[in-house]
């Protein structure tokens, strides 16, 4: 497993907690992805929708750190396949959705093409992303902005109190119970 990536998880449709838990379980089952369930899963935050229709249901959001042998493009493909398996409709952008999995940071990569922008373009202005991400990646430096995730969160908290974000569960609430045979042994590269 060569690369370290941070993912944002969100759900505002159906059993939101179960959707988050199922997404982490799916990530753990993928042979190209490794998660340390004791260290790399953030708490769950309930957040009001931002920048989209206020009539949407509230979200549960979290973040996870993964180690992966996948390229950013292949990781995006894997994440989108997980979203579909968990019931996300293909046209659900800016609509209620069972699960949303975003690549927030991928090593220190900065890239933008028609299918993927890394780091995530909204990362530094979204409190619902920065709160959970700062728990597991507080000292990580944003590859474009040069600030730590904690600094970005603190600066945003001072500037924008409009985004309603409340911690509602600890990380174990979405940590799936995995048996040894469910989690593949990673291939060291």
pLDDT in tens, 122-131: 999 999 999 9
Q: How far is CA 86 from the centre of its chain?
A: 15
The model's pTM is: 0.90
Task: Look at residues 65, 24, 67 and name the one whose alpha carbon lies nearest to residue 189.
Answer: 67
SS3 38: coil
SS3 58: coil
**Numbers of helices and strands, H then E, in the chain:** 4, 8
- Angle CA 27–142–16, to nearest 5: 35
CATH class of 3-120+164-173: alpha beta
| 106: β partners | 5
Catalytic center residues = 88, 97, 100, 102
Q: Pick the range with the lowest mean pLDDT from 10-14, 60-64, 161-165.
A: 161-165
């Amino acid at each position: 497993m060569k690369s370290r990536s941070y993912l944002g998880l969100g759900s505002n449709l159906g059993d939101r907690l179960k959707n988050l838990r199922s997404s982490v379980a799916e990530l753990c089952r993928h042979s190209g992805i490794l998660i340390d369930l004791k260290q790399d899963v953030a708490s769950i935050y309930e957040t009001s929708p931002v920048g989209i229709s206020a009539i949407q249901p509230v979200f549960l959001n979290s973040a996870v750190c993964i180690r992966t042998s996948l390229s950013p493009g292949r990781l995006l493909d894997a994440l989108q396949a997980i979203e579909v398996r968990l019931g996300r409709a293909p046209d659900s952008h800016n609509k209620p959705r069972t699960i949303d999995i975003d690549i927030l940071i991928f090593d220190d990569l900065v890239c933008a093409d028609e299918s993927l922008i890394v780091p995530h373009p909204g990362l530094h202005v979204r409190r619902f992303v920065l709160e959970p991400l700062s728990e597991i990646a507080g000292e990580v430096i944003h590859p474009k902005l040069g600030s730590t995730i904690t600094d970005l969160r603190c600066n945003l908290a001072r500037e924008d109190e409009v985004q309603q974000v409340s911690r509602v569960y600890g990380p174990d609430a979405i940590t799936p119970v995995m048996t040894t045979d469910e989690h593949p042994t990673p291939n060291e590269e």
